[in-house]
Amino acid sequence: MPPCHLITGGAGFIGSCHVLRSRTAGVRVVNLDKLTYSGNPENLAALRDDPDHIFVRGDIGNDELTAHLLEIHQPDAVINFAAESHVDRSIHDPDAFVRTNVLGTCALLRAALRYWKALPEDRRAAFRFLHVSTDEVFGALRPGDPAFAETTAYAPNSPYSASKAAGDHLVRAFHETYGLPTLITNCSNNYGPRQFPEKLIPLILCNALARKPLPIYGTGGNIRDWLHVEDHCEALSLVLEKGEPGRTYNIGGRSERTNLEVVRALCGILDRLRPHPDGPYADLIAFVADRPGHDFRYAVDCGRLERELGWKPRHGFEQGLEDTVRWYLDHQDWTDRVRNGEYRAWLETNYGGRRA
Ligand code: NAD
Ligand code: TYD
């Protein structure tokens, strides 16, 4: 029997990458996704005729549904990607983040615990609940601070990171209290194909191609540590296979860049690959009102993952970014389709009041 994983949020950016990789590796996948605005079945088009990819539209908060899926498919692991994932949206509607990232995670944990307890002993020993989280739970770093380690205290600053932190605490508590074999990963900003164009890199690409302003919050000096989505998913497979239950693992790209550096790099790549007669793309850069509570810097120390599990990122940032730009240039129909009415309304909500 091939291994079977229940993957939640598998129609989103990172989840779909992991689902595709899992199928290539021969893992049977039950994919539970609510298909919110960022969930896109088109991300899984390559699996349309694959009988070992079972897609179920549903909410991780529905524990009757998850209990049923666990019972009939008997997975060896649950990997939880499902989340509300965008900081700016959390500023406008924190409750949605509590519902999925806190209450939803708790409901999924309850269902997994009941299922795990009833497994025969050998399968109980092998079972894992892997929860995908973020470095944002650690708060913000100043310029010379050491990078976040697994031992760094949680200090979330946005409703998004606070809800992810609460979810992480519940996962930890289910291990300590009930013995559920959980793993938590905290990763840095991902980039790569199929990222919803509300996040910095795809938003800038979409706006640049439409000759719209490229909004940079504040001065553009804020720093993120960029991780290619394929490197992230490779790390998740390693943690699932070799990680020690009850532990957490940081995943980072060792690629710290200011937002302005990232946007200028994107403009430079577009100037080479898709030059525009009206001039360089960087002319479109517009500094706009800052994000409230904007974390200054994230940087992840992924030494534990490298030392203990032998992981190393394969993608250098410059090449990874150029490959990502090429993907978006080759898939403009994908972006056209996701930029529906909801997306346009979001742009008005988030950017309407910010003056250049
Ligand atoms: P995404 O927004 O692209 O995808 C989230 C997916 O979850 C969507 O398919 C959505 O439909 C689904 N979903 C949302 N609520 C659900 C619910 N209640 N029940 C079932 N499905 C639901 O997000 P992403 O960027 O792919 O992020 C995946 C995970 O990785 C999240 O947990 C996020 O916090 C974490 N993470 C992301 C990044 C990043 O840079 N993108 C960085 C660190 C951590
Ligand atoms: P984002 O992609 O939203 O990820 P996160 O907030 O989780 O780090 O933003 C990445 C950085 O880019 C962050 O510092 C905010 C900034 N940013 C802008 O300057 N302009 C934008 O339009 C967006 C969406 C983000």
- The answer for residues whose C-beta is within 8 angstroms of residue 337's C-beta and 6 or more apart is 42
Residue among 224, 257, 262 whose CB has most ligand 2 atoms within 8 A, to mutate = 224
Centre of ligand 2 from the C-alpha of residue 281, in Å: 19
Residue 186 in contact with ligand 1 by CB distance below 6 A: no
Q: What are 222-238's pLDDT values in tens digits? A: 999 999 999 999 999 99
Q: How far is CA 319 from the centre of its chain?
A: 20
Nearest to 195 by CA among 19, 326, 38, 87: 38
CA distance 198 to 56: 25
- Among residues 59, 76, 84, 136, the one annotated as catalytic is 136
Nearest to 125 by CA among 228, 38, 245: 245
Centre of ligand 2 from the C-alpha of residue 200, in Å: 5
Centre of ligand 2 from the C-alpha of residue 108, in Å: 29
Number of C-beta neighbours around residue 184 at 10 A: 25
pLDDT band at 355 (very low <50, low <70, confident <90, very high): confident
Number of C-beta neighbours around residue 334 at 10 A: 18
Give, in degrees to the nearest 5, the angle at Cα 276 between 272 and 282: 75
- Domain boundaries along the sequence of the chain: 4-196+227-254+293-314
Multiple choice CATH, 4-196+227-254+293-314, 3.60.15.10, 3.40.50.620, 3.40.50.720, 3.40.50.300 = 3.40.50.720
Catalytic residue list contains 154: no
Q: What are 130-155's pLDDT values in tens digits? A: 999 999 999 999 999 999 999 999 99
Residue 285 in contact with ligand 2 by CB distance below 6 A: no
| Positive/negative CA dihedral, 81, 84, 87, 88 | positive
Residue 43 in contact with ligand 1 by CB distance below 6 A: no
Q: What are 174-200's pLDDT values in tens digits? A: 999 999 999 999 999 999 999 999 999
